[in-house]
Amino acid sequence: MRATDLDPTFISHAPGYWADEDTEKWSDYKWQLRNRVNTLSDLESRINLTDVERAGVLLAGNKLAMSITPHFFNLVDRDDPNCPIRRQIIPRIEEGWTAPEELADPCGEDSHMPVPGLVHRYPDRVLFLVTDRCASYCRYCTRSRVVSGVGEQHLEMNWEAAFKYLEQHTEVRDVLLSGGDPLLLSDTILDRLLTRLRSIPHIQFVRIGSRIPIFLPQRITPELCQMLRKHHPLFISIHTNHPRELTSEVRDGLGRLADAGIPMGNQSVLLRGINDSVEVQKALVHKLLMCRVRPYYLYQCDLITGSTHLRTSVAEGVEIIEGLRGHTTGYAIPQYVIDGPGGGGKIPINPNYMIDSVPGKVTLRNYEGNLFEYPDPTPVPDGVMEKLHHRALHGCS
């Protein structure tokens, strides 16, 4: 961590490692995508790599690709292998070891797909996977079995079959577009997709899950915002884990989305050595509010293969929530959840504030550890209401 990571300020890290490029190219998202760091030689020409990382990069080739936008790469510390940005996107040899509790499909998505790419787990909403590509790849990705296109399994999609399923299932009122990253699709394709979903009368609410505002804020063009705002009510769930990720470019991109009337939530993953402290989480959620983004979920890291070096205990997550609740703005506090391994869905995990419960009352503790009793309502004794009634009508005291 750097001392400045905890400052509530938004800075640009450009041009950073790309000092020779002109700024016009820098702000072109297509240039950013074309110039992603995705080879060992490119990586080694820019930062001092450790053996653990070098071996990890070689291994990543047939598991989950390495790919990092220049914008995001600029947040990487050149010399510090424990840099919280570096550990999210540069592979390490530890990814090659699968712990006994780990799974290729930790949330049991493949077994809940009535149509390829459509996960229907909850009664009224679906997860619609619309692409297998992202602007950069997170080493802990819960869908690493299918994203990036280099692993053994490929993401099967059939949009027409998905639309047909949604039309037939009138109980679905909420569609969450994810992948991969839906904002990597072109404006035209996204527009067509959203228009098609909006033509289904029972779909009330559409959300897009995207890490593009963080990896590639240049993609949040005025044209994109203009198109998205035609499809309201539309929400966006962004994904950011560390306050350094909230640069001035990211703040401006998020501002354009907010100005287009799009409510935004953030999903973070609790990651060991990256954001597993109250001070880092606090800095993150405060900066998010400044960007008009409401912290939504803090995920316990899924049991994805090769993730032991990035996972924390559940107790550490509870401790972080404990350190936020009461100590800062309620709007700043995400719900901590564990996605039930094998397909249980999101299960909320909270510090225990109700320390006792007996018939008639509960005993609570507040954020400072002080105790309070809250009684159940007292039943009104017989005759009291009659007496009050009489007094109201006949006015005696």
Ligand X SMILES: *Cc1c(COP(=O)(O)O)cnc(C)c1O
Q: Which positions are catalytic?
A: 121-122, 125, 134, 138, 141, 143, 302, 339, 346
Of the candidate residues 95, 181, 249, 302, the single one contacting ligand SF4 (CB under 6 A): 181
**Residue 83 assigned as binding residue:** no
Q: Please give the size of the binding site for ligand SF4, defined by CB under 6 A.
A: 11
- Helices 314-324/278-290 angle, 10° precision: 50
Of the candidate residues 180, 265, 295, 306, the single one contacting ligand SF4 (CB under 6 A): 180
Partnered with residue 364 across adjacent β-strands are 354, 372
Of the candidate residues 13, 46, 121, 198, the single one contacting ligand X (CB under 6 A): 121
Query: How far apart are CB 139 and ligand SF4 at their closest, in Å?
Result: 8
Asked whether position 176 contacts ligand X by CB under 6 A, the answer is yes
Structure tokens at 30: 């297509």
From ligand X, ligand SF4, none, interface partner of 141 (C-beta below 5 to 8 A by class): ligand SF4
Contacts of 261 (CB under 8 A, 6+ apart): 229, 232
Please compute, for residue 42, the number of CA atoms within 13 A of its CA located in the half-sphere on the CB side.
15
Which amino acid is located at 311 in the chain? R
Query: How far apart are CB 268 and ligand SF4 at their closest, in Å?
Result: 11
Given its phi and psi angles, is residue 65 left (phi above 0), alpha (psi -120 to 50 degrees) or beta? beta
Asked whether position 145 contacts ligand X by CB under 6 A, the answer is no
Cα angle: 316, vertex 318, 324; to 5 degrees: 105
Whether 66 and 89 have beta carbons less than 8 Å apart is answered as yes
- Helices 187-198/159-168 angle, 10° precision: 20
Asked whether position 119 contacts ligand X by CB under 6 A, the answer is yes
Dihedral angle, C-alpha 16, 20, 26, 30, nearest 10 °: -120
Pattern of binders to ligand SF4 over 122-161, x per CB under 6 A?
------------x--xx--x-x---x--------------
Of the candidate residues 65, 127, 175, 190, the single one contacting ligand X (CB under 6 A): 127
Q: Among 343, 273, 274, which residue's Cα sits nearest to residue 103?
A: 343
From ligand X, ligand SF4, none, interface partner of 284 (C-beta below 5 to 8 A by class): none
DSSP annotation string for 202-247: T--EEEEEESHHHH-GGG--HHHHHHHGGG-SEEEEEE--SGGG--
Of the candidate residues 211, 244, 251, 311, the single one contacting ligand SF4 (CB under 6 A): 211
Residue 147 or 262 with smaller CB distance to ligand SF4: 147
Asked whether position 169 contacts ligand X by CB under 6 A, the answer is no
Of the candidate residues 17, 122, 159, 353, the single one contacting ligand X (CB under 6 A): 122
Evaluated on CA atoms 334, 6, 320, 343, the torsion sign reads positive
Asked whether position 203 contacts ligand X by CB under 6 A, the answer is no
Residue 65 or 126 with smaller CB distance to ligand X: 126
Whether 207 and 178 have beta carbons less than 8 Å apart is answered as no
Give the CA distances from residue 67 to residues 19, 85, 181, in Å, rounded to whole numbers and listed in that order: 20, 13, 14
Asked whether position 165 contacts ligand X by CB under 6 A, the answer is no
Whether 102 and 303 have beta carbons less than 8 Å apart is answered as yes
Q: Please give the size of the binding site for ligand X, defined by CB under 6 A.
A: 7
Query: How far apart are CB 302 and ligand X at their closest, in Å?
Result: 10
Q: Kindly indicate which of the ranges 1-9, 45-53, 74-82, 179-187 contains the residues binding ligand SF4, using the contact rule CB under 6 A.
A: 179-187
Asked whether position 64 contacts ligand X by CB under 6 A, the answer is no
If DSSP codes are grouped into helix, strand and coil, which group holds residue 360?
coil
Q: Kindly indicate which of the ranges 120-128, 183-191, 285-293, 366-374 contains the residues binding ligand X, using the contact rule CB under 6 A.
A: 120-128
Asked whether position 87 contacts ligand SF4 by CB under 6 A, the answer is no
Binding site for ligand X (CB under 6 A): 119, 121-122, 125, 127, 176, 346
Binding site for ligand SF4 (CB under 6 A): 134, 137-138, 141, 143, 147, 179-181, 211, 239
Task: Output the known binding site for [4Fe-4S] cluster.
Answer: 134, 138, 141
